[in-house]
Amino acid sequence: MSSERLPLKKLMHTVNSLIIIRLKDNREFRGRLRSVDNYMNSILSDAIEMKGGNKLAKYGEVFIRGNNILWIQTEWEETEETEETEETEEE
């Protein structure tokens, strides 16, 4: 297998894990990766849209085109601090 395929293979192994996707316009989507294809088009469930550390919206499911992705952080877990921030913003 060629080395350029390794990031995509790793991403495909993170299906059903929590991830963060940063787009080229600096928005971030945090959620559970439900599906990804060879173009890195991704579907996230329970997604939260963030920009500059501020929560913009919460979605049940989002589709993100691979050509809009700047980077993807895998092996991310929701922390108590993240949950507290979300609860504070909801109030």
User: What are 11-61's pLDDT values in tens digits?
Assistant: 888 899 999 999 999 999 999 999 999 999 999 999 999 988 899 999 999
Residue 47 lies inside a defined structural domain of this protein: yes
* CA dihedral of residues 29, 31, 34, 39 (deg, nearest 10): 20
Residue 48 lies inside a defined structural domain of this protein: yes
Q: What is the CATH number of the domain that holds 58?
A: 2.30.30.100
Q: Into how many domains does the chain fold? A: 1
Residue 91 lies inside a defined structural domain of this protein: no
pLDDT at 87: 53
Q: Domain containing 30: what range? A: 3-86
d(CA 10, CA 49): 23
The DSSP-derived string for the chain is --GGGHHHHHHHHTTTSEEEEEETTSEEEEEEEEEE-TT--EEEEEEEEEETTEEEEEEEEEEE-GGGEEEEE-S----HHHHHHHHHHH-
Q: pLDDT category, 5, cuts 50, 70, 90?
A: low
Query: Which pTM was predicted?
Result: 0.75
Residue 74 lies inside a defined structural domain of this protein: yes
Is the pLDDT at 67 greater than 80, yes or no? yes
